Amino acid sequence: MDDASFLFHMNDIVQQRTSSTSERLTDNKMSAGAPEDLSRRFSKAIAARVDGKAVDVSSPLVTEEAEPIFPSSPEGLEVLRHSTAHLMAQAVKRLFPEVQITIGPVIESGFYYDFKHERSFTPEDLERIEAEMQTIVKENLPVSREEVPRNDAVRFFTQMGEAYKAEIIASIPEGEIVSLYRQGEFVDLCRGPHVPSTGRIPAFKLTSVAGAYWRGDEKNEMLQRIYGTAFATPKELRQHLALLEEAKRRDHRRVGRELDLFSFNPVAPGSPFFHPKGTLIYNELVSYMRGLYQRYGYQEVLTPQIFDVDLWHRSGHYENYKENIFFTEVEGRDFGVKPMNCPGHTYIYAAKKHSYRDLPLRYADFARLHRFERSGVLAGLTRVRSFSQDDAHIFCTPEQIESEVSGVLRMINEVYQTFGFEEVHFYLATRPEKRLGDDATWDRAEAALAGALKANEIAYEVNVADGAFYGPKIDFIVLDALRREWQLATIQLDFMLPERFDLSYVTAHGDEARPVMIHRAVLGSIERFMGVLIEHCGGDFPLWLAPVQVKIVTVTDNQDAYARQVDAQLRQAGIRCELDLRNEKLGYKIREAEMQKVPYTVVIGDKEVQAGTVAPRVRKREKVAPLSVQALIERLHRERIPGGAS
């Protein structure tokens, strides 16, 4: 059979399958001879579940025992979004026939599809594609599945000019059967399942376009990636799009630029430059944690930035983490810039003998850390190469594990309440495939963390194989104001480093034993936490964190002298102030202070000068009755968090 005949033959096979599927859909039946009650049961389903596996509603496997999958369910939403990715690819091929299609998976918030296109897609292109997608929905094309031999599928897509699809299929073991899905003139490689017809896709939106390397490898050619999302109802889509707009408004990169908090420069990729106001917030976060350290019994230490590479071999990081470490050579010796503090803390512990009476020892360290992250994953403050953690390591006896973990849990709970993170999810991450130590040690460590969670009556889920290479961990996922998930705090239990660095303590019986090491961070990376916090509060920092707590504005220059007196009194009381004596309209000054998200704007006019008062306006236009300067100072002091920074 020649190439042209083969292509015609393949299309004929798939079209025959499409016709039979169309007949079943028209008859509203799941399979030949399906009873009427089964048809009614699946009339609103977009897929079915058979023996725990999702299949097409047209599958012969769909019988009385099958369960319908509806669009509003999590599994149904995944099917809907996958089908919308195919819908988008079909629209792209109609509008741009020369484009080659590659892969189009479902992701957490929607879907994407990668295309080989000679130029970048424009916003206008996205509008055209979306309009064509709506046209295809109205056509209500049946969606059908066909299984074909691998080699036939490779030849089919090659003849269609879809080299990327052919390459994907060629990587499948020879002799395997592959499944194709067709809707109208569009055919795609896919496992499925998919919606019964394009008319069952009710609400979607293309959201953005970006570059992406073929197969995620930067050595491969650049493709065009179009992102989109889909929902079971137009209302849900509108709500999601409104959430996206709010997320853009809160984006910490945008807010950081508008409030003059930090910037980035290619001279130091992935390493933020903190401006004076951003540095103030940064230092206040550190100061807040230092206040907690005093109450929770931590001692702060300082350790070197660069260590001989032998340390990283000894700790196991070289074998398990070297791709993330920056290395350098000095006087013929290889060194690594530290990506974490834990190995350095073992040297402080080992600097002298310890008795069981000394334990637990809690060492905290705010040293700068450096980790190599590929440029493609760098994302503002939330993914950087240079950062500092509120890092600490607890050296304790095995008997102290539960009480120490419980103490860390209490600290984390206090911190999250302070910052308004009201919903927290807990995950116990167990042994990864690439790890140190034997199974018996891992069993012991995992049981200890699980026991601490249960002792504190904390419900948790298990993240299988997601632990650190040296021990299991508890991860804390917080939901921000937009109900997005962020992984912040972590508690990691480590039996390995004390063994590798030969740490010991003298027991009550006079013999030596190994301490256990608990790694913990509450905020995590200060940079990342700051980015999350900015988006959580939209830049409306609580008073104690706000770079400028009070903005003093005058009505005319007649009040300048009194305004300077007020400014001096507030500064003397430890309040961070700014004076605005410009010859501008009062409304303009107030609006500018609001744009800068200053918690208090103090207005001074002739009346305030005569009465010796001030007229405060709380952020978001709440007015306060005129106060004396002392009364304002007392109000500001009352708003500060207990035990927090000044």
Catalytically active residues are 342, 371, 389, 391, 393, 473, 519
Residues 6 or more apart in contact with residue 578 via CB below 8 angstroms: 548, 550, 551, 552, 598
- Rounded-to-10 torsion of CA 345, 347, 351, 355: 60
Specify the DSSP class assigned to residue 552. E
Cβ atoms of 420 and 537 closer than 8 Å? yes
Q: d(Cα 486, Cα 468) in Å, to the nearest integer?
A: 18
Which residues have CB under 8 Å from 252's CB, separation 6+? 380, 381, 382, 530, 531, 532, 534, 535
CA distance 153 to 147: 9
Residue 349: count other Cβ atoms within 10 Å of its Cβ: 22
In the block, which residue shows the tokens 């008795």? Answer: 355
Q: How far is CA 550 from CA 409, 467, 525, in A?
A: 35, 45, 29
Measured at the CA of 559, the angle between CA 554 and CA 564, to 5 degrees, comes to 85
Contact of 349 with 395, CB cutoff 8 Å: yes
- Residue 598, judged by CB atoms within 10 A of its CB (0-12, 13-18, 19+), counts as buried
Q: What residues form DSSP beta bridges with 424? A: 478
Q: How far is CA 343 from the centre of its chain?
A: 28
DSSP 293-342: HHHHT-EE----SEEEHHHHHHHTHHHHHGGG-EEEEETTEEEEE-S-SH
- What span, in angstroms and rounded, lies between the C-alpha atoms of 265 and 263? 7
Rounded Cα gap, residues 619 and 597, in angstroms? 7
**Tokens 């102030």, residue?**
577
Which residues make Cβ contacts (< 8 Å) with residue 164, sequence separation at least 6?
100, 101, 102, 103, 116, 214
Q: Which DSSP letter does residue 380 get?
A: T
CB 466 within 8 A of CB 434: no
Six token digits for residue 552? 């003093």
Q: Could you give the CA distance from residue 245 to residue 241 in angstroms, rounded to a whole number?
A: 6
CA–CA separation, 476 vs 478, rounded Å?
A: 6
Beta bridge partners of 386: 370
Who contacts 63 (Cβ-Cβ below 8 Å, separation ≥6)? 30, 31, 38, 50
Q: What are the DSSP E strand ranges found in 26-75? A: 47-50, 53-55, 67-69
Cis geometry, peptide bond prior to residue 71 (ω within 30 degrees of 0): no
